[in-house]
Structure 1
Amino acid sequence: MDTIDSNQLAEDYGWLFGGVAVVAYVAVAVIFLVAYVRIIQKAGYSGWWVLVGLLPILNVVMFLVFAFSRWPVLRERDALRAGGVYPR
């Protein structure tokens, strides 16, 4: 009876394992990207701001601006509570 050699198995099916890993990575990346877009939209910003997060150094600046600025959704809420009209 033939025994399965792990080196031969890796040579024969290594592309399959690598392909599955790439598909899993892309799926997780898409799920996180969609989640980030939803979070940014709920804050009142355009979902396109997520693309800025892919740029080095600018992503840190964007994070700090979003963290310490007044979010549009909060400005709208405050305007509605005050009985005013939200300026767009």
Structure 2
Amino acid sequence: MQNQGPPDALFWVMIVIMIPIYAVTIWAMVRIIQKAGYSGWNFLWYLVPIVNIVMFFIFAFGEWPVTRRIKELEGRVFGDLPDPRLNRPL
């Protein structure tokens, strides 16, 4: 059986290196998700096995809220969609 003493120095060096890497990765994921128009909390789906794969494909191939909003604004500018401000009842 191996020595059951305290972890060696290499273990602590790895911990000190990996925590900032994980923190930066999570921060980057949250920023990307927010720029797509979703809540930053959606990064939590990546911590759930199987669901993370499904959510990856939903985020990759689904229509993002920001894209939907851009299409709506382009439609108003170029006359494809009516301006909802003009359709208000008096």
Percent of aligned pairs with the same amino acid: 43
Consecutive unaligned residues in structure 2, runs of 5 or more: 1-6, 77-82, 85-90
Q: Which has the higher helix share?
A: 1
Structure 2 residue matching 1:35: 3-state secondary structure: helix
Give the 5 Å matches for 1:30-41: 30-41=23-34
Cα shift at 1:36 = 0.5
Return the TM-score normalized by structure 1.
0.74
How many matched pairs?
72
1:54 offset after TM fit, Å? 0.6
Give the superposition deviation at 1:56: 0.2
Aligned to 2:80: none
| Letter in structure 2 aligned against 1:32 | T
Match of 2:36 in 1: 43
1:3 aligned residue: none
Structure 1 residue matching 2:71: 3-state secondary structure: helix
Gaps of 5+ in 1: 1-13
- C-alpha distance in 1, partners of 2:30/2:13? 26
Q: Aligned with 1:82: secondary structure?
A: helix
Root mean square deviation, CA, Å? 1.5
Report the TM-score, using the length of structure 2 for normalisation. 0.73
Counterpart selection for 1:68 from 61, 66, 70? 61
Aligned mates of 2:63, 2:39 — CA distance in 1: 15
Tell me what 1:17 maps to: 10
What SS does the corresponding residue of 1:70 show, helix, strand or coil? coil
Residues 22-46 of structure 1: CA deviation (Å, up to 9, x unaligned): 0110110000000000000011001
